[in-house]
Structure 1
Amino acid sequence: MDRIAICGAGPAGLAMALMLTRSGHQVDLIERFDEPAPVGSGLILQPTGLSVLDMLGLYDRMMALGHRIDRLWGTDIRTGRAVLDVRYDSGPHGRFGLAVQRAALFATLHDAVVQAGIPILSGRSVVSVRDAATRPVLKLADGSEMGPYRLVIDATGARSQLMTQLCSHERSRELAYGAFWATLDAAAMDYAHGALEQRYDKASVMIGVLPVGRLTPEGRDKIAFFWSQKIGEADGVMTRGLGEWKARIAGYWPQSAAMLDKLTGWEQLTLARYQHRTLQTPAVGRVVFIGDAAHCTSPQLGQGANMALLDAAALALSLSRTRDIDDAVAGYCRARRHHVRLFQLLSRMFTPFYQGDSAALAFIRDQVVSTLAKIPPAPRLLASIVSGTLLDPFSSSGVSERRWIDR
């Protein structure tokens, strides 16, 4: 049987390998690092991503590790006015989010891959591809080649080299704002259980706390602490020192002092950088892009990992429906087109209201949008946006939405 290459052993690549192996395909799971590892701090698994994990038989393990989220809550630092209040129960079906450490999601999928006997070919950095239209062959950084393959699936993320090579006409926009992230012990800290809590000063300052559960069922609970940071000013912030940065945050949010005390060096913080890109067609010949390689944006709507899991499910479904690889690729592109474009558009629209330099947009957010958001049907609409279900993502991906009975 012809083999399928999956580039990238992050959550998207690991989920893809599980799905294809269970469908009878032979896969080469290729990872550039010597030891696959997660990147980043915390994220929210939405009903979409949770349903994919349920399909993979991994839902119960994730629930044992994560922290249930029922509300996204944000206030203006100066006035205390609520400028973000999204409640999952404003929408249908009893949906909720599950905040997890990226390391917990990675470990859950990685362990399942190991248990399935799928080898990870690590230490192999893919830099380019040839014969993409017919029998793709991967070229590695050391000059060697792998293939030919029936299909290559790129799950290497927003800065994919294959995407850069094959989609050079596509435009990526580096976002001015990123974020400093840290994962801290939750013990003895004052934080909102069951909520993502944020504080804003206009749109240029955003501080947030997200309870993200534990790495093992018996482990210690953690929180993800983040600060919105203009990328062009990050070096200056670090040069001036951690003490000045912490003092600035404490001035905005005095209750965060216990969290800030846990930060003793910049090595505890990760500077996340974001870009926005939506490939018009997430495939070139027989090279298919999933996850951030196909579509990336700011994390404002919390859809990144969830969209990647849906991509993997949709591609697996399309490959199961036909032996014609070109038809399968086309089917995947059709299945994900509308859902991806809608949420990429929504993310692009919402981001400047929460991360940007415009005082006018912040004023509109605080004085107009926050008021309109309380008037039906807006609460239900916002719940569907955050859940990733404003447009049905399930049927086209072959995923059955789980019955949300967990409390």
Structure 2
Amino acid sequence: MKPLKIAIVGAGPAGLAASLFLTRAGHITDIIERFDSPAPVGSALMLQPTGLTVLETLGLGPAIHATGNRIDRLFGTETTRGRTVLDVRYNALPSGRYGLGVHRAALFDTLYDEVSARRHPIFTGQKIVGVMEEGDRSYLSVEGGERLGPYDLVIDASGARSELAAALPRAPRARNLVYGAFWATLDCPDGLVDQAALTQRYDKASVMIGVLPIGSRKPDMPKQAALFWSLKVADVDEVRRRGLDRWKQTIRGYWPECEPLLEQVTDWEQLTLARYAHRTVKVPYSGRTVFVGDAAHSTSPQLGQGANMALLDVAALAHALASHDTIETALSAYAGARRMHVRLFQLLSLAFTPFYQSDSAALAWIRDRLVATIAKVPPAPQILAAIVSGTLVDPFAAAGLSECDWLRASAPQPS
């Protein structure tokens, strides 16, 4: 395909990664960001083998490993009897896979620094409210009346609240999930938790507390961890009204060892409220506008796949554009390449969520007594490891990727 002029709406991880992939292929990109200063949103995330493979393909593997924390295990117990109800180990598969706990800012910085070093244009303070197609060119409508373009292709990487997706003739319906979560990024003393595990505590399915070690955002910063606590979004105002001390006391009652983290929380402003929704753009393109990441699909964070799916999307889109002669056939190929993987993991996220975030005592009982037992019997450990890794079906070939050599990727880099 001839070099294209491409507008990328949104300077989050998906938009930044898209610019890196596409300029490397010879295309010209403009990144258009609604905020005056591009910045990360949120506390922490898990990079799975899928997302790590995409970053390695971009040459950013060493940089992200330097800031993150290797996770080998997801481990959770219920608070009443200490029964183990979650124990997923990446090494149940023979590939050497692992996850990487990272601050969202570390992922953003890694991509943004590379985009900046390569001098990709980023236009800030421009809120895109629509796309107009005139012949084979597209123009962006900016709030306030300005028009940007022309472009051969528009990539919407603006997130779950995409205005472009909402304006589609068959706009996706969002199913807002009842439970959200408070997140805080805090300094993590040595020995507080297993540094190689995402550790969680549960009381039935209505209480979930977790600690995810996320390494250091910068070399001179202390090691950190993300503390999260799930709650109903409808209860947030009441929790805040009761006061921070009462909220902290609730967590102490379930998990006293979290005190070194809790004592660092002195203001509600340190807590980020994450709200979640399930929505899917059934056909992730319209005309010459294509949707990636949360603009195309979003779901519960229970399997930790969100950022990883977004990175896979942009890799698959770049591969489709490189493999076809026209934009139309490339966008159709992109949709086909991502269809099965996206639908499968959205379904799995929806299926798992009620066992860990719901009002159902029955599902919690099943989880605590049956699921944890079954999970120990082969091939269940291998299947769970593949689900968490994002590789229950192969996501790599359709995106033109070769999976990482995990032993090499995790090896210390020479100074």
- TM-score using structure 1 length: 0.98
Offset of 1:170 from its aligned partner?
2.1
Give aligned-pair identity as a percent: 59
The answer to whether the aligner puts 1:383 opposite 2:385 as a matched pair is: yes
User: Deviations for 1:176-231, whole angstroms, at most 9, x for unmatched residues?
Assistant: 10000000011356122100000000111000000001112332111000000100
Pick from 275, 278, 293 the counterpart of residue 277 of structure 2.
275
Looking at structure 2, the residues matched to 384 and 133 of structure 1 have their Cα atoms a distance apart, in angstroms, of 45
Unaligned runs of 5+ in 1: none
Q: Which residue of 1 aligns with 2:212?
A: 210
Where 1:159 maps in the other structure, the secondary structure is coil
Looking at structure 2, the residues matched to 322 and 112 of structure 1 have their Cα atoms a distance apart, in angstroms, of 27
CA RMSD of aligned residues (A): 1.2
Looking at structure 2, the residues matched to 28 and 120 of structure 1 have their Cα atoms a distance apart, in angstroms, of 6
Larger deviation: 158-167 or 386-395?
158-167
Pick from 105, 108, 111 the counterpart of residue 106 of structure 1.
108
Looking at structure 2, the residues matched to 373 and 165 of structure 1 have their Cα atoms a distance apart, in angstroms, of 43
Offset of 1:146 from its aligned partner?
1.0
Pick from 402, 405, 413 the counterpart of residue 403 of structure 1.
405
Q: Which residue of 2 aligns with 1:153?
A: 155
Where 1:262 maps in the other structure, the secondary structure is coil
User: Deviations for 1:210-265, whole angstroms, at most 9, x for unmatched residues?
Assistant: 00011123321110000001000101100111011111111111111111111001
Matches within 5 A, 1:177-196: 177-187=179-189, 190-196=192-198
Looking at structure 2, the residues matched to 316 and 253 of structure 1 have their Cα atoms a distance apart, in angstroms, of 45
Offset of 1:322 from its aligned partner?
2.1
Looking at structure 1, the residues matched to 169 and 85 of structure 2 have their Cα atoms a distance apart, in angstroms, of 39
Looking at structure 1, the residues matched to 332 and 95 of structure 2 have their Cα atoms a distance apart, in angstroms, of 32
User: Deviations for 1:136-187, whole angstroms, at most 9, x for unmatched residues?
Assistant: 2211111111123211100000010000001544221000100000000113
The answer to whether the aligner puts 1:292 opposite 2:300 as a matched pair is: no
Q: Which residue of 1 aligns with 2:96?
A: 94
Q: Is the 8 A contact 1:71 1:88 kept in 2?
A: yes
Q: Is the 8 A contact 2:97 2:406 kept in 1?
A: yes
| Corresponding letter in the other structure for 2:124 | S
Q: Is the 8 A contact 1:28 1:119 kept in 2?
A: yes
Q: Is the 8 A contact 1:339 1:393 kept in 2?
A: yes
Unaligned runs of 5+ in 2: none
Q: CA 1:326 to 1:40, structure 2 compared with 1: closer, same or farther past 3 Å?
A: same
Q: CA 1:79 to 1:206, structure 2 compared with 1: closer, same or farther past 3 Å?
A: same
Q: Is the 8 A contact 1:5 1:149 kept in 2?
A: yes
| Corresponding letter in the other structure for 1:65 | T
Looking at structure 1, the residues matched to 219 and 58 of structure 2 have their Cα atoms a distance apart, in angstroms, of 19
Looking at structure 1, the residues matched to 326 and 388 of structure 2 have their Cα atoms a distance apart, in angstroms, of 36
Q: CA 1:188 to 1:69, structure 2 compared with 1: closer, same or farther past 3 Å?
A: closer
Where 2:202 maps in the other structure, the secondary structure is strand
Q: Which residue of 2 aligns with 1:233?
A: 235
Looking at structure 1, the residues matched to 169 and 278 of structure 2 have their Cα atoms a distance apart, in angstroms, of 15
- TM-score using structure 2 length: 0.96
Looking at structure 2, the residues matched to 133 and 239 of structure 1 have their Cα atoms a distance apart, in angstroms, of 55
Q: CA 1:402 to 1:2, structure 2 compared with 1: closer, same or farther past 3 Å?
A: closer
Pick from 53, 56, 59 the counterpart of residue 57 of structure 1.
59
Q: Which residue of 1 aligns with 2:24?
A: 22
Moved over 3 A (4+): none
| Corresponding letter in the other structure for 1:137 | Y
Pick from 344, 351, 360 the counterpart of residue 362 of structure 2.
360
Q: Which residue of 1 aligns with 2:46?
A: 44
Looking at structure 1, the residues matched to 352 and 43 of structure 2 have their Cα atoms a distance apart, in angstroms, of 22
Offset of 1:133 from its aligned partner?
8.4
Looking at structure 2, the residues matched to 291 and 133 of structure 1 have their Cα atoms a distance apart, in angstroms, of 27
Q: CA 1:188 to 1:390, structure 2 compared with 1: closer, same or farther past 3 Å?
A: closer
Offset of 1:132 from its aligned partner?
8.2
Matches within 5 A, 1:301-316: 301-316=303-318
Q: Which residue of 1 aligns with 2:77?
A: 75
Q: Which residue of 2 aligns with 1:251?
A: 253
Looking at structure 1, the residues matched to 329 and 14 of structure 2 have their Cα atoms a distance apart, in angstroms, of 22
Q: Is the 8 A contact 1:133 1:284 kept in 2?
A: no
